[in-house]
Amino acid sequence: MGTFCSVVKFENLQELKRLCHWGPIIALGVIAICSTMAMIDSVLWYWPLHTTGGSVNFIMLINWTVMILYNYFNAMFVGPGFVPLGWKPENSQDSVYLQYCKVCQAYKAPRSHHCRKCNRCVMKMDHHCPWINNCCGYQNHASFTLFLLLAPLGCIHAAFIFVMTMYTQLYNRLSFGWNTVKFDMSAARRDPLPIIPFGLTAFAATLFALGLALGTTKAVGMLFFIQMKIILRNKTSIESWIEEKAKDRIQYYQLDEVFVFPYDMGSRWKSFKQVFTWSGVPEGDGLDWPIREGCHQYSLTIEQLKQKADKRVRSVRYKVIEDYSGTCCPLNRGIKTFFTSPCTEEPRIRLQKGEFILATRGLRYWLYGDKILDDSVLEGVSRIRGWFPRNCVEKCPCDAETDQAPEGEKKNR
Provide CB contacts within 8 A for 240, sequence distance 6+: 230
Provide CB contacts within 8 A for 64, sequence distance 6+: 35, 150, 153, 154, 157, 158
**What's the CA gap between 130 and 108, in Å, rounded?**
23
Give the pLDDT score at 211.
95
pLDDT in tens, 121-133: 999 999 999 999 9
Give the pLDDT score at 315.
66
Q: In terms of Cα–Cα distance, which of 340, 394, 396, 332 is closest to 365?
A: 340
- Work out the average pLDDT over 374-396: 71
Give the pLDDT score at 312.
53
DSSP one-letter code for 128:
E
- Work out the average pLDDT over 393-409: 53
Q: How crowded is residue 35: how many other Cβ atoms within 10 Å of its Cβ?
A: 21
**Band (85; pLDDT cuts 50, 70, 90):** very high
Give the pLDDT score at 317.
83
CA distances in angstroms from 411 to 143, 252, 274, 302, 395, listed in the order given: 45, 9, 38, 19, 21
Q: How many residues does the chain have?
A: 413
Q: In terms of Cα–Cα distance, which of 23, 131, 144, 130 is closest to 74?
A: 144
Phi/psi of residue 373, nearest 5 degrees: -105, -10
Check if the beta carbon of residue 279 is closer than 8 Å to that of residue 6. Answer: yes
Query: Considering the entire predicted model, what is its pTM?
Result: 0.78
Provide CB contacts within 8 A for 181, sequence distance 6+: 174, 175
Phi/psi of residue 59, nearest 5 degrees: -65, -40
DSSP for 280-334? S--SS-SSS----TT--TTHHHHHHHHHHH-HHHHSEEEEE-S-B---SS-GGG-
DSSP for 374-393? SS-TTT-SSEEEEEEEGGGE
pLDDT at 267 over 60: yes
Give the pLDDT score at 194.
52
Q: How crowded is residue 190: how many other Cβ atoms within 10 Å of its Cβ?
A: 9
The three-state secondary structure class of 82 is: strand
Active-site residue set? 129
pLDDT at 147 over 60: yes
pLDDT at 67 over 90: yes
Give the pLDDT score at 173.
60
Is the model more confident about 280 or about 220?
Answer: 220
Q: Which of these ranges, 49-53, 65-69, 70-74, 211-215, has the smallest mean pLDDT?
A: 49-53
Check if the beta carbon of residue 365 is closer than 8 Å to that of residue 340. Answer: yes
The three-state secondary structure class of 104 is: coil
pLDDT in tens, 349-359: 999 998 988 88
CA distances in angstroms from 89 to 105, 282, 287, 290, listed in the order given: 13, 21, 9, 16
pLDDT > 90 in the chain, percent: 42
315-395: which CATH topology?
SH3 type barrels. (2.30.30)
DSSP one-letter code for 351:
B
**What's the CA gap between 282 and 274, in Å, rounded?**
6
- Work out the average pLDDT over 375-387: 60
Q: How crowded is residue 17: how many other Cβ atoms within 10 Å of its Cβ?
A: 9
pLDDT at 88 over 70: yes
**What's the CA gap between 293 and 290, in Å, rounded?**
10
pLDDT in tens, 156-208: 999 999 998 888 777 656 544 444 544 444 444 444 445 556 778 888 999 99
Amino acid at 11: E
pLDDT in tens, 269-315: 999 999 999 888 888 899 999 888 878 888 888 888 887 777 555 56
Extents of the domains making up the chain: 13-80+139-178+195-233, 315-395
Cα torsion for 109, 111, 114, 119, to the nearest 10°? -80
**What's the CA gap between 150 and 287, in Å, rounded?**
29
Return mean pLDDT, the chain.
82
Per DSSP, helices labelled H in 137-199 are 141-171
Check if the beta carbon of residue 130 is closer than 8 Å to that of residue 344. Answer: yes
